């Protein structure tokens, strides 16, 4: 199977700042009931994904480019760089901010537990 990336733009994602671009690698249908997202996400300078909780699903994401601030389930802020992996377990919350001058890019996978 070969598929083509789909792109969506989310303004104020999860009540965050700015517009986030989501480049779907696989659609929810392609994940065959095992998850809902596999995508490259681009958070431009000054934008963010607001605080939200994952119920019944886990989300690891891998930082590809840029620098960001990951706020974990305990509301502790961590600076993240390329090569870092942030994992959000079922029932936990998080947010991601890009307070730098360049885009923050990450791969995200949301799968059901």
Residue 28: its pLDDT value, please? 94
User: CA–CA separation, 31 vs 18, rounded Å?
Assistant: 28
Q: Which residues contact 75 (CB under 8 A, 6 or more apart)?
A: none
Residue with tokens 């733009």: 9
Coarse DSSP helix, strand, coil percentages of the chain, rounded to the nearest 5 percent: 5, 55, 40
Architecture of domain 6-112: Sandwich (2.60)
Q: Kindly list the domain boundaries of the chain, sorted by start residue.
A: 6-112
Other CB atoms within 10 Å distance of the CB of residue 89 = 12
Residue 1: its pLDDT value, please? 62
Strands of the sheet containing 93-97, edge to edge, are 48-53, 93-97, 68-71, 77-80
Identify the three-state secondary structure at position 30.
helix
Identify the three-state secondary structure at position 14.
helix
Residue 5: its pLDDT value, please? 77
**pLDDT tens digits for the chain (113 residues)?**
677 778 999 999 999 999 999 999 999 999 999 999 999 999 999 999 999 999 999 999 999 999 999 999 999 999 999 999 999 999 999 999 999 999 999 999 999 99
């Amino acid at each position: 199977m070969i598929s083509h990336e789909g792109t969506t733009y989310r303004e104020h994602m999860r009540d965050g700042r700015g517009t986030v671009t989501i480049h779907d690698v696989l659609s929810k249908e392609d994940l065959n009931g095992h998850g809902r997202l596999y995508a490259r996400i681009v958070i431009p300078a000054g934008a963010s994904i607001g605080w939200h909780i994952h119920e019944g699903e886990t989300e690891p994401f891998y930082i590809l480019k840029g620098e960001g601030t990951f706020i974990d389930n305990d509301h502790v802020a961590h600076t993240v760089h390329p090569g870092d992996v942030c994992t959000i377990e079922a029932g936990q919350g998080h947010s991601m901010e890009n307070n730098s001058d360049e885009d923050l890019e990450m791969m995200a996978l949301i799968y059901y537990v």
